[in-house]
Amino acid sequence: MLATQNPFEFEGTFPLPESQMDRFLMRLRLGYPDRLTEKEVLVRHRGGEPVESLKPVVSVADICRLQEHVRQVRVEESLNEYVLDLIAATRDHSSLYLGASTRAALALYRAAQALALVQGRDYAIPDDVKQLAKPVLAHRLLTRSHRHGERASESEAVMDEIIDQTPLPG
C-alpha cells in the first residue's frame, strides 16, 4: 500500500496518526528525478497520461504464490532474536517516546524473508534484517522531541544508532 494523507478540506499533506503509520510496511524516500529523467516525463505526458495504458505484469494469483514463497523462506532462531533485539532497543532508547510494535517486528521479519527471496535465497541472513531495519521501523517511532517536520530525520538517526549498537547474530 502506498499513500499520503491529503484531507479533502485542507491543502497540503498531514502526518498520519501513529496507529496508521504502523500499518505501512516501510517508508522509502525517492527524491526528485535527475533533469534528463524529468524531461522524459514531460515528453511522455504530451499525448496524455501514460498510466492509462499500463498493463498488469503479474496476476493476483502470482502475487498470492509469491506471498506463499516468502512465508517459506527459512529464518534461523538467532535471526529471530536479532529482530527482537532491534525491536526491544527501540522500546528502551532514551530518545524515543514510542518504540516499535509487535506488528513492526512481524513487518521486519516478513520484509527480510521477501528480500532473501528476491535475492534468490530460501533463507534470510542478518544483513537482510540490518538492511531493512531503518526503512521498516523508523517511520513507526516517535521521538521525545517529536515535531512533525522533523519526525522522519530524528527517528532515522535513532535507528542508525540502534542498528550500529545491536550486535549481529554470530
Which segments of the chain have a pLDDT < 70? 1-22, 146-152
CA distance 91 to 72: 29
CA atoms within 13 A on the CB side of 39: 3
* Torsions phi, psi for 69 (to 5 deg): -60, -40
| Within-domain flag for 142 | yes
Q: Which residues contact 98 (CB under 8 A, 6 or more apart)?
A: 18, 140, 141, 142
Q: Among candidates 114, 116, 162, 118, which has minimal Cα distance to 137? A: 162
CA distance 64 to 105: 22
| Within-domain flag for 150 | yes
| Within-domain flag for 79 | yes
User: Can you give the residue range of the structural domain that contains 152?
Assistant: 75-170
Q: Among candidates 167, 143, 136, 169, which has minimal Cα distance to 157? A: 143
| Within-domain flag for 124 | yes
> SS3 for 123?
strand
What domain count does the chain have? Answer: 1
| Within-domain flag for 33 | no
Q: What is the pLDDT of residue 151?
A: 58
Length of the chain: 170
| Within-domain flag for 8 | no
Looking up residue 159, the CATH number of its domain turns out to be 1.10.8.80
Cell numbers given for 147: 515535531
CA distance 115 to 109: 10
pLDDT tens per residue, range 69-85: 999 999 999 999 999 99
CA distance 11 to 2: 19
| Within-domain flag for 120 | yes
Q: What is the pLDDT of residue 166?
A: 97
Q: What is the pLDDT of residue 5?
A: 45
Q: What is the pLDDT of residue 60?
A: 95
pLDDT tens per residue, range 42-67: 998 888 888 888 899 999 999 999 99
| Within-domain flag for 52 | no
CA distance 136 to 124: 16
- Whether the full predicted model's pTM is greater than 0.85, yes or no, is no
